[in-house]
Amino acid sequence: MFETLSDKLQGVFRRFRGRARLTERDLDEGLREVRLALLDADAHFSVVREFNNKVKERALGAEVSEALDPAQQVIKIVFDELVALLGADESKITYADTPPTVIVLCGLQGGGKTTTAGKLAVLVQKQKHRPLLVATDIHRPAAIRQLEVVGEQIGVPVFKLGDQAHPADIARAAVRHATQNGLDVIIVDTAGRTHTDAAMMDEIRAVVAAVDPHETLLVLDALTGQDAVNVAESFAAEVSFDGVIMTKMDGDARGGAALSVRAVSGVPIRFIGMGEKLDALDPFHPDRIARRILGMGDVLSLIEKSQETFDQDQAARMQEKLMNEGLDLEDFLQQIQQMRRVGPLGQILEMLPKGLLDAFGGAGMPADAMDPREIDRVEAIVYSMTPDERRDPDKLNTSRKRRIARGSGTSMADVNSLLKQFSQTQMMMKQMVGGRGPAGRGAGLVPGMPGRQRKATKPKRKKKRSR
């Protein structure tokens, strides 16, 4: 997400660093590169023009000319304007004072509405609500069944009246059903089209009029770039909606749609889809996204994800073991599996500041290291070891490595590569726990893991000199 834009912007800012003063020419040259980077990211040209004008206006003022570090001040201005562009609105659902809360999803066919409906249901479940999914797409073959499958996967009931009832009538009946059965959040999945047309808009307006939703959210496919922005603009002209959900953001290296949609439609992005799994829906935090774009990382989101998945007691035990005995390959495997529950490795690395990655060599990590298949390979190798070998990898001679490679369906080179990676990880963990690495003293093994607690020691008494 935003990889291309992030790399280009950081290249621009590197040229600013170390200068005691920035001239207007310096700024013009830098902002020209910023403009090209944004356009290459598929941001809307009018949005880019307005963004650059605001940055230049502020950068030519006293904010930069009087700054002790002009480069850092320019970066701060770009950060502030990125946040303003993305929107400062809170990414949360507004629940009704008197349940049920009604949420209507709309958008084009193929944008991911049905899957997003399931993801939204998972999210409200985590917030201790009881959702109901409502199937009002009576046009697309198997649309109702698709929503039923999603509901079965997450344990959420699905309300349907078949494909002969009018969508507005289905939605209205669903509200009655939810009220009678103690379900306090209704998520209505509406029909889409391959393009915006009058029939679709009329149907959405009828559904909205029937249930008077507390939230109407437009679902957009981030991978369509400028087309997503055009769809948002078309919907905004015909149907009143409260927010946008951008799907497939994990596959969007440019991010132009996310940068442009609020400015064009006047409506904020509320959530982003970050994968195929039904728990992969994240709140949209403009300030955190801006930090990612500028290479500052998004540690807060990483901590939040970690806290949801990590067993704190287990983490504390592992921390103690690391300080006293050191980690073995069984611990290494557990760490990999815990990180996997947080999310794909590529997404985790995106949340870390570029400086930290560079310090540990993560910025140059090969692409295949982020591949889930690589993690499968690691697991297979470790599982092919005996418990004694996992506890003491020094015992792994050539004969044992050959057996492990054969048992895991890998090669000797794969086994040696893993052992080297494990050795490097061991060293890095010791540095982080001991406070000698970039994370500083008190850092834990992974986000969410407690840091090292130094025991208070009594000052030593000086021995009395004998006379």
189-209 burial code (b ≥16 CB/10 A, e <16): bbbbbeebeeebbebbebbbe
Domain check: are 272 and 286 in the same one? Answer: yes
**Within 13 A of 20's CA, how many CA atoms are on the CB side?**
0
DSSP state of 267: -
**Strand 185-189 and strand 101-106: pairing?**
parallel
Q: Assess whether the previous peptide bond of 286 is cis (omega < 30° from 0).
A: no
Query: If pLDDT is split at 50, 70 and 90, which confidence band does 334 have?
Result: confident
- The phi, psi pair for 409, rounded to 5°, reads 70, 30
Same domain, 329 and 252: no
Same domain, 197 and 332: no
Residue 457 lies in a domain: no
- Is 138's pLDDT higher than 50? yes
Task: State residue 437's pLDDT score.
Answer: 43
Per-residue confidence (pLDDT) for residue 69, from 0 to 100: 75
**Last residue within a domain, chosen from 293, 311, 341:** 293
Domain of residue 322, residue span: 299-434
Measure Cα distances from 352 to 1, 6, 128, 246, 272 in Å. Answer: 13, 13, 30, 22, 19
For residue 460, what pLDDT is reported? 46
Are residue 124 and residue 70 in the same domain, yes or no?
no
Q: Give mean pLDDT, residues 262-277.
A: 90
Structural domains in the chain (count): 3
CATH number at residue 403: 1.10.260.30
The pLDDT score that the predictor gives to residue 466 is 45
Answer yes or no: do 325 and 228 share one domain. Answer: no
pLDDT in tens, 184-211: 999 999 998 878 888 889 999 999 999 9
Predicted local confidence at residue 392, as pLDDT: 87
Which one is predicted more confidently, 368 or 35?
Answer: 35
Percent of the chain with pLDDT over 90: 38
pLDDT, tens digit, for every residue of 56-79? 888 887 666 665 577 788 888 888
Q: Clarify whether residues 328 and 305 are in a common domain.
A: yes
Torsion of CA 348, 379, 273, 130, to 10 degrees: -110
Q: Using one digit for the tens of pLDDT, what is the confidence trace for 370-408?
A: 456 777 888 899 999 998 998 888 889 999 999 999 999
DSSP code, position 454:
P
- What is the reported pLDDT for 22? 76
Q: Between 266 and 296, name the one with better pLDDT.
A: 266
Chain-wide mean pLDDT for the chain? 80
Q: How far apart are CA 429 and CA 431, in angstroms?
A: 5
149 and 243 assigned to the same domain: yes
